Every structure is written in structure tokens, then in C-alpha cells.
Amino acid sequence: MSDSLDHDLVQLESGPVENPVEQFLRSDRVPHIWCPGCGIGTTVNSFARALIESKIDLQSLALVSGIGCTGRVAGYVKLDSFHTTHGRAIPFATGLKLANPKLNVVVYSGDGDLSAIGGNHLIHAARRNLDLKVICVNNLTYAMTGGQTAPTTPDHSITSTNPYGVFEPSFNLPHLVEAAGAVYVARWTTFHVRQMARAIGEAFRKKGFSFIEIISPCPTLYQRRNKLGDGLDTMKFYKEKSKVRNGAPTSEVGLTLTGDIVVGKFVDRDRPDYQSMMRTQFHESLGERYIEQPEMVCS
Amino acid sequence: MPKGRVSIVVERCKACGFCVEFCPSHVLALSSAYNSKGYHPPHVVHPEKCSGCDLCGMYCPDFAICASKVDTPAAHNSAKSHDTDNATKKEGGQ
Amino acid sequence: MKPAHQTADPRGVLTGTHFMDGDHACCEGALAAGSRFAAGYPITPSTEVVERFASRVPTVGGTFIQMEDELAASITLQGAVWGGAKAFTVTSGPGFSLMMEHIGYAAMTETPCVFVDVQRGGPSTGLPTLPAQADMMQARWGSHGDYEIIALCPNSPQECFDLTIKAFNLAEEFRVPVMFMMDEVVGHMTEKVVIPPADQIEVVPRRHTHKSVDDYLPYATNGDQVPEMAHAGEGYKFHVTGLTHDERGYPNMTPQTQDKLVRRLQSKIRDAADRIALFEEDQLDDADVVVVSYGITSRVAQRAITLAREQGLNIGKLRLITAWPFPENKIAGLAAKGKTFVFPELNLGQMVREVERIAGRAKTFAVPHAGGGVHNPEDILKVILEAARCQTH
């Protein structure tokens, strides 16, 4: 016979508490669709805390996502949010930012969406150093569609499209985006709740292309097929196997199936962002003829 | 006198166990009760140890739990964060 | 509910008499319509439209970005729309094919925007520098699922200017992607283009909500068929998704929501089809044979019509300016009066199928052309004469 919850509660002071994440949620859509032990919700908590800490103006914040489990974040946050097409969150975000430079534009999407179908847009946005904050939740697979191989799936993993084991090398995303030109590159896991929040806050303060990779469990597919336990087992694995190496060369932070996970802030450099380069060039070429448009709100 | 208070929204919980594992003071355990989806939500087993650090809230992927320090202004707020099906379980006075 | 009207922002209007080609005139039309954002990718024979835009906007006050591919360009412009701009892109066949997913996204999310397709020979790489009109069905059906679009067909550089403004106006009025179906000849032919003063140009402003943040529902239609829009950054905190959604914009994947949403996307255009369908007609009443045409072919067809009339035949002309929605009622009315149709196109039979579908017992004679050049007027005349002979029986 199961205990009732009332019986188990202990009397304390009265009055409810407010969860810091609640103000950012579309509460009428919770409980969400993510599986038990999935880490995406945990990343949203860190995102919420970063929003609070940084005191960012929520009205000027827009969130753009692609397709996939992480892509569903856009539907759960109470912000101007855009759930776009597979792989194309970054170009959509580009248009948003260029039309209204006052917006703070966050791209929140998954590893398959951002690095496979969206890979071209990822590298060009990094090259251009567009002022976008990209949060890439990397669960090492295409989760929403049933756990297929993604460019980030570690060698030898079992997936639904590599049932005998992945034999392709996987992308080292921090290395890729650093080479393409990103000015802020960090990786954490969903175990690192405080560090995630701090990194997101730093990205908000950074001008230019920021990329935060967050390793997250997919207990239903990736972890299950590879006999890596459930979400909690994976969080303990992250705790054990994560090695914080701030400033590590990104060439050295590739992931393997069971090896160490190098985490930390790898790149934090300064170079002019796309819009300042654009303005500089036009001022130089056109002088007084150049008309800068701060926002293009057509009535 | 506990420094913190936990609030659990039982209908959101999917019993992943993160809060139980990562509470530094081992305040929580999964209960043997069920919510309507069949999950065992956590319950507070050592309320006196709760510091209100809210690591449980930071870890919870389902936004189903949080804790705050008892002498914070939040303690005096009226219920604004209740979910729509009123299944929030709070410690004390219900 | 008819939209409010404004006149054009003079900063974007190059008032005067110009000698310019269709591509350039299209760019000026976009600027006159109030467009201040374009995202593009080079493809012959459309590239000049955005090249001109790139050189014009920094002194008008806008942004052009050349994206890394058409997949990006076709959605970057939509991000700009939700950021507050009137936006467009230009392409030709191969790029148009790449843009199809995002044309569907624009239709589903009701993002007002313009896609310019300067048609060239296809399929595949085809004839990059030579004309065709073979993307007409693709303009209507190219993306997956049920949706409606509006398509306009200019037949001169002057129309490339005038109708681009119309395209933007229709996009804003109906919150729909509008396909601007030029062809390589119209795009590259140089003619006189008169650009009037800004206060003589009517533009339709963004259908922006006046509701408060608490009352606004992004996809509620309040008795109209077109919802009101808000932009990112205004405090509405709305959600937009390509998933089937309800009035709140939230994903709601049920057959009931699907039925309600998709039928409205269709009916908001179809119910206004008679108003949207623009055409030019001449001597239809007494005609035995009606020559239907659009785009550059209409100018060749005009020659054939003149030659046929010189032979004493009663030939009517119907030039489609709006290709989609197709002017069904107009064609049905002519068919009911027993007229015969002749339809030359720079393709192997696309829009003619619409006439065949609607015309019932009336005879329809296609005049196909595989593309790469325009018809000879004599080839169209031959079919007109054949059609006229059939009529007398």
C-alpha cells in the first residue's frame, strides 16, 4: 500500500515559494513532452537563472529554435519565440537581428539541427560573427525521430541507423565553431547547473557569435541503446567524467563513448561583430550618405 | 529551525531522481505515492536539513520542485506559481 | 476587412522616367513598396534585383544580406519580417526549388513576404540565361501540404515596378507569401519605366494588432479571415511555429485544429479570389476564340492576335496578371458562352491545365514551347486559325 503524500509531509512555515523558472514558462503547456531524465528542462532552468542574473530586458529577447527535442524549448518559454524549420534557426535569427538590432536573439536548438542540416548556417554565422547566442543541447543523437546517428554521435555508439555501431568520426563542435570564427565557446553538461547559467550570462554580455554546447542525456534512446543507464546514471557519469579545463585547446575536447568529457570556457575573444563591421564599412564608403536604420518597424 | 522550504508540484514530476541525488543535504527521497501519471514524486524526509539552496530546483528538468530560504520575500508571496491543476504540494499548513 | 492604406515612403521612391530592365525595376518596386530588407543568393537571371538592392539600401536605410544558400535566404527574410521589416528574396528555378520548404513555412505561419522567381529554362540547371515559364505550377504546389499563395506575372519592366508594389500590398493584406513570377526576358529587357511621386503610390501597411499584450492572440481572426500581427520586441511574447497550431500559436496537433487552420489558410485567399485575380481583357464579348496568356508570351500573343484580327476573325484577349488564384469565374463565364481558348505558354502545358479543368466542354488549344526563347507569333497564329476553324463547326 503506498503512502499518501499528505502523511509524509512535515509541517513547516506556511506560504508557497516561487520557482525562478516559472515566470518564463508558458504554464498552460506544462508538463512538457520531454522524457523522464531528459536534460533539456535542466538547461532551461539555467537559462532562466541567467536571464534573472543578467537583468536582461525580456521584452527585447527573442528565442529561435529548430526542429527536434531541444527545438521544443521555444514553445515552452514565455518570450517572443519562433519554432522554425529543421536546421534553419540560425538564418531566421539572423533576419530577426538584422531587422531589429535592439533584439537579443538566442538560438536554442539541438546537435542534429545545428550541426547536420544546419551545419552550413552554423559556420557562416560564426564566420560573420553575428551577434547571436547559440545554446546547443547535445544529446549525441537525433532524439525526436527515434535516436538516429547525428554528426555528434561518438564512434562505436549504437543508434537506430547504425545498429552495428557508428563508424564515422564525430564532430568536435567547439573546435568547429572556433575555427569558423565564434568569439565565445564553452561546453558544460546538464550536471553543471551553475556553470551553465554563468556561461549563458557571459554570452549575453558578449557581442558576437557565442556558442554554448551542453551535453545532455537522452535516456530513452541514446543511453538505452548503449546500455548507459538512465538519466540519473548519466548525470552521475557527467559528474565523474567531466574535467574542467578552461582555456583548453578546442582540438583536444572531442568526445568519445565512455571517455572523459572536457568542459569549461574554451574561447573568449574579441572581434567586431557583423553589424559593427557593416556600419564601419558603410561609413567609410558612403560617409554622410549612409543611413543607419536602428529598427525597421513598419506600421 | 530549517533554513529552507521545499515546494513540489507533484503532477509535473517524472521521478527522474535528480533532486534526490543532488540535494547536498539529502533532504529528499522518492516517495511510494503516485501522481496521476504513475510516477513516484519525491517527498521531504529531512526538512530540518533544508538550506534553501534550490539545487533541486536547478536540476529538476520538469520544473516540479524548488526550494527557497525561509526568510526571503518569496516566503510571503501569495500563490502565483501554482500550476493549473492545483496539485502543488507544499510543506506545512494545508 | 479592407486594409488601411498609406502612401509610399519617399526615401525609397526613385521618382522619374527611367530606362531600366525588369530586374532593376523590380528592385525599385520593392523599395517603393517599403521593403527595407532582402536576403538573397546569386542565381541567373535574377541576381541584378538584389545587386541593385545592395547598392540602394545603405542610402535609403535598410539591409541586404547575401546568405550562404537559398535555404537560408528564404527564411532569413522571414526572420526580418517578424523583426518588423517588409522583406523579399529573388531567385530562379533551382533556387526556387530549394526555397519550397520555407514558402510553406511562410504560408503556415502567415508571414507576409515576396518571393521573386525570374524563370529560366529547366528542369535542373537547364538554361540559366534563357527564358521559360515552367515554374508556374511549382509556384502553386511546390511545397508540401495544403496551402494557398498569390502569384503575379508582369510582362514589362514597367509592370515589374508596378506589380512588385502590388505583390507587397497583397502579401500584407492577406499575410501570405506572394510569388512574383517574372521570366528572363522581362527581367533583362530594357524599357521605359515611369516611377511616380511617392504620394501617388499606395502601400498597404503591416496588419499590426492594436490589442493589448493581455488580449492579443497571434492567430485569432476576430471574424475576419486574416489574423493581426505583432513583431518581436514589442512585449507580446507570442509563439510562432510551423506545427499545426491554435489561436494562441501553440502546437495543437489534432485533426480538428488541422481542419480549422488549413481550411482558413485556403479560404482567406479563395474567398477573395475575384478581388485578387487581376487580368487585362480586350474584345472578349464578340470573340469566338479567346487567347489567354501571361508574362512575356502575352506580348508575342498580342502580335498573333493582331494578325488574326486583320484576317477578319473575332479574337479576344485575356492576359493574366494574377496567375494564382486562377481567375476561375472569368474562364468559366467565357466557356459558358461557347468560346474556344488558345493558350500559349513557355512550357509544355501548365496554366493551360487550369483552363482545361474549368472550361468543361469548351475546346482548349495549348501552344506549348519547351523554353529557351519566345514563341514566333506565326506559331501562335497558326493555332488561333485552327481554333477559329473548330469554332465554326
pLDDT on residue A234: 98
pLDDT per residue over A105-163, tens digit each? 999 999 999 999 999 999 999 999 999 999 999 999 999 999 999 999 999 999 999 99
Per-residue pLDDT at C392: 66
Question: Is any Cβ of chain C less than 8 angstroms from the Cβ of A100?
Answer: yes
Distance CA C76, CA A263 (A): 32
Percent of chain B with pLDDT over 90: 69
Residues ≥6 apart with Cβ < 8 Å to C192: C17, C18, C19, C157, C158
pLDDT, residue C3, reads 61
Nearest to A13 among B59, B81, B92 (CB): B92
Chain centroid to Cα A296, Å, comes to 28
Residue C221's contacts (CB-CB under 8 Å, 6 or more residues apart) are C227, C247, C264
Beta-bridge mates of residue C151: C179, C324
Chains adjacent to C (≥3 CB pairs closer than 8 angstroms): A
Provide the shortest C-alpha distance from residue C77 to chain A (in Å): 6
What is the pLDDT, as a whole number, of residue B93? Answer: 32
Mean pLDDT of A209-215: 98
Q: Is A11 exposed, middle or buried (0-12, 13-18, 19+ CB in 10 A)?
A: exposed
Distance between CA atoms of residues C245 and C105, nearest Å? 13
Chain-chain contact of B22 with A235 (C-beta, under 8 angstroms): yes
For C8, which residue in chain A has the nearest alpha carbon?
A298
Q: Do A16 and B54 touch (CB under 8 A)?
A: no
pLDDT band at B2 (very low <50, low <70, confident <90, very high): confident
Contacts of A290 in chain C (CB under 8 A): 58-59
Does A37 contact B32 at a Cβ distance shorter than 8 Å? no
Here the ipTM equals 0.96
- When CB atoms are compared, the residue of B10, B59, B68 closest to A17 is B68
pLDDT at position B87 over 60: no
Does C349 lie at the interface with A, CB-CB under 8 angstroms? no
| B with C: touching (≥3 Cβ pairs within 8 Å) | no
CATH 3.40.50.920 domain position(s) in chain C: 280-391
Helix (H, G, I), strand (E, B), or coil: what is residue C273? Answer: helix
Q: Which residue has the higher pLDDT, B86 or C188?
A: C188
Q: In the prediction, which pLDDT does A293 show? A: 76
Do the chains A and C touch each other, judged by at least 3 C-beta pairs below 8 angstroms?
A: yes
The pLDDT value recorded for residue A18 is 77
Nearest Cα neighbor of A84 from A68, A99, A97 is A68
Check residue A4 and give its pLDDT. 45
Question: What is the number of CB-based contacts under 8 A between chain A and chain B?
Answer: 158
Is residue C107 within 8 Å of C265, Cβ to Cβ? yes
From A41's Cα to the closest Cα of chain B, the distance in A is: 4
Cell numbers standing for residue B68: 527557497
In whole angstroms, give the CA distance from residue C5 to residue A162: 58
CA terminus-to-terminus distance, chain A: 64
For C215, list phi and psi in degrees, rounded to 5: -95, -15
What number of helices (H) and strands (E) belong to chain B? 2, 5
With an 8 Å Cβ cutoff, is A193 touching chain B? Answer: yes
Query: How close A62 gets to chain C, by Cα (Å)?
Result: 7
**CA–CA dist B68, B3 (Å, integer):** 8
The fold adopted by the segment(s) C280-391 is Rossmann fold (3.40.50)
Tell the burial category of C224 from Cβ atoms under 10 Å away from its Cβ (0-12, 13-18, 19+). exposed
Cross-strand pairs, A62:
A80, A105
The answer to whether residue A48 neighbours chain B at the CB level (below 8 Å) is: no
Task: List all residues of chain A from 262 to 291 with a beta carbon under 8 Å from chain C.
Answer: 278, 282, 286, 289-291
Give the closest-approach CA distance of A271 to chain B in angstroms.
33
Q: Which chain B residues contact residue A139 at CB under 8 A?
A: none
Phi, psi of A46 (to 5 degrees): -65, -40
Q: Flag whether residue A11 sits within 8 Å of chain C, measured between CB atoms.
A: no
Please report, for chain A, how many H helices and E strands are present, in that order.
Answer: 11, 8
Mean pLDDT of successive 10-residue stretches along chain C, which has 393 residues: 79 97 98 98 98 97 97 98 98 98 98 98 97 98 98 98 98 98 98 98 96 96 92 97 97 97 98 96 97 98 98 98 97 96 98 96 96 98 96 65
With beta carbons under 8 A apart, name residues in chain C contacting A121.
68, 72
Q: Is A295 on the interface with C (CB under 8 A)?
A: yes
Which CATH architecture describes the domain A28-289?
3-Layer(aba) Sandwich (3.40)
User: Nearest chain B Cα to A192, which residue?
Assistant: B59
Q: Which chains touch B (3 or more CB pairs under 8 A)?
A: A
Q: Quick check: C81 contacting A, CB < 8 Å?
A: yes
Please tell me the predicted confidence (pLDDT) of residue B16.
98
Cα–Cα distance for residue pair C53/A17, rounded to 1 Å: 55
The residues pairing with C89 across neighbouring beta strands, listed in sequence order, are C115
pLDDT of A17 reads 52
Chain B CB within 8 Å of residue A40 CB: yes
Q: Do C81 and A98 touch (CB under 8 A)?
A: no
- List, for residues B22-77, the tens digit of each pLDDT value: 999 999 999 999 999 999 999 999 999 999 999 999 999 999 999 999 875 554 43
- What topology does CATH give the domain C6-203? Rossmann fold (3.40.50)
Give the nearest chain B residue to A22 (CA atoms).
Answer: B81
Cell 518570450: give the residue.
A79
Cell, residue C269: 485567399
Q: Does A83 touch chain C (CB under 8 A)?
A: yes
Is A294 within 8 Å of chain C by CB? no
Delimiting residues of CATH 3.40.50.970 domain(s) in chain C:
6-203
What distance in Å separates the CA atoms of residue A237 and residue A153, rounded to the nearest whole number? 17
Other Cβ atoms within 10 Å of C59 Cβ, number: 14
Torsion A143-A144-A148-A149 (CA) sign: negative
Q: Is A49 on the interface with B (CB under 8 A)?
A: yes
What pLDDT is stored for residue B78 in this prediction? 33
Hey, which residues does A148 pair with through a beta bridge? A142
DSSP C219: T
Which among A78, A92, A293 has the least Cβ separation from residue C62?
A: A293
- Kind plus residue range of the DSSP H or E element containing A293: none
Grid look-up 469566338 returns C288
Domains and CATH numbers, chain B: 4-71 (3.30.70.20)
Least confident of A21-30, A238-247, C75-84, C187-196: A21-30
A 236-255 → B contacts, CB under 8 A: 236
- How far is it, in rounded angstroms, from Cα A97 to Cα A106? 10
Dihedral of CA atoms A268, A273, A276, A277 in degrees, nearest 10, equals 120
Average pLDDT over residues A201-209: 98
Which residues in C lie closer than 8 A to residue A95 (C-beta atoms)? 37, 39, 75-83, 87
Tell me, yes or no, if A298 comes closer than 8 A to chain C by beta carbon: yes
The maximal CA–CA distance of chain C, rounded, in angstroms, is: 69
User: Among partner residues A79, A91, A296, which is closest to C76 by beta-carbon distance?
Assistant: A91
Helix (H) or strand (E) holding C229: none
How close is the nearest chain B Cα to the Cα of A181, in Å?
32
- Residue A8 and residue B16: Cβ atoms within 8 Å? no
Taking CA–CA distances from C82, the nearest residue in chain A reads A96
Res. A12: pLDDT tops 60: no
Chains that touch A (3 or more CB pairs under 8 A): B, C
